[in-house]
Amino acid sequence: MKKLLLTAVFALSLCFAANAQDENVTENPAEVTDSKTLSLDELKAQRAALLALSKSEDFLEKLAKVDKLQAPKETGIGGLDALTTMAAKLIDQMKTTRGSIPQFYASVTGQTMDGNPATGVTPVQPDQLIALSKMFVTMGVELVKSSKELLTMPGEIKSAGVMKAMKALKSMAYIKNAFVALKQEISYNAKMTQNLIATNKAMAGDKSK
C-alpha cells in the first residue's frame, strides 16, 4: 500500500514539475530585449498596451490566485522546503513593490493609471526607476533558478518516504501556482518600469531643447 501511495505521489509530483516546465520559466521575465529607442508617442502606445494587459481577466485572475496562496508547512524535504521559502519571499517582495509602479507612473506621465490627472505626486528620480528595474531583474534570476530546481524535485520526493511525500504535493502545488503568477507580474512590472525610464529620459531631452 505504501509503495502504491509513493508511486501515486511521485506521478503527481512529476505532473506538477512538467506543468512548471510548460510555463516556460526558462528565461528571465524581467529581461527587456528590445533596445530600439522609441518616440514619446510610441512609448505612450506601449504603456496603453501594458495597462490593457494589467486589466485583463487572465492577469487579474492570476494575481487574485497568488494573493490567496498560503505557504504550506515544511515537509522535511530540504530542497522542496527551500523552494517554498523562495516562492513565499518573491511573493511578499512583489506585493511590497506593487505601489511603486502607480506612483512612478503618475510622477513621470502626470496621470494616474486610470487616466486621471495626477495631483500631489513626488517627482521621481532616474536612479529610483533604475533601482526598481534592477530589483525586478534580480527577482527574475531567482525565479528562473528556482524553476530549474523544481524540475529535480520528483526524485528528491520519491526518496523521502511516503509521509513526507504526501506533504510534498501541497508544496509542489503552491510553488507551481506562485511561479506562474510571479512570471506574469515580474514581466509586466519590468516592461512598465523600462517604459517609464525611457519616457522620463525622452521628456527630459525634449525640455532641454
Q: Measured between alpha carbons, how far is residue 19 from residues 25, 35, 167 in Å?
A: 11, 32, 19
Residue 136, pLDDT score: 96
Residue 20, pLDDT score: 46
Q: Average model confidence (pLDDT) for the chain?
A: 85
Q: What mean pLDDT comes out for the span 48-69?
A: 93
pTM: 0.85
Residue 21, pLDDT score: 46
**Banded pLDDT at 207 (limits 50, 70, 90):** low
In the chain, % of residues over pLDDT 90: 59
**Close Cβ partners of 57 (under 8 Å, ≥ 6 residues apart):** none
> CA–CA separation, 93 vs 14, rounded Å?
28
Cell numbers representing residue 194 in the block: 523600462
> CA–CA separation, 80 vs 174, rounded Å?
11
Q: What mean pLDDT comes out for the span 38-51?
A: 95
Q: Is it the case that residue 4 has pLDDT exceeding 50?
A: no
Query: pLDDT by residue (tens digit) across 101-138?
Result: 999 999 999 999 999 999 888 888 999 999 999 999 99
> CA–CA separation, 118 vs 106, rounded Å?
6
Q: Is it the case that residue 161 has pLDDT exceeding 80?
A: no
Q: Which range is least confidently modeled, 105-114, 133-142, 159-168, 191-200?
A: 159-168
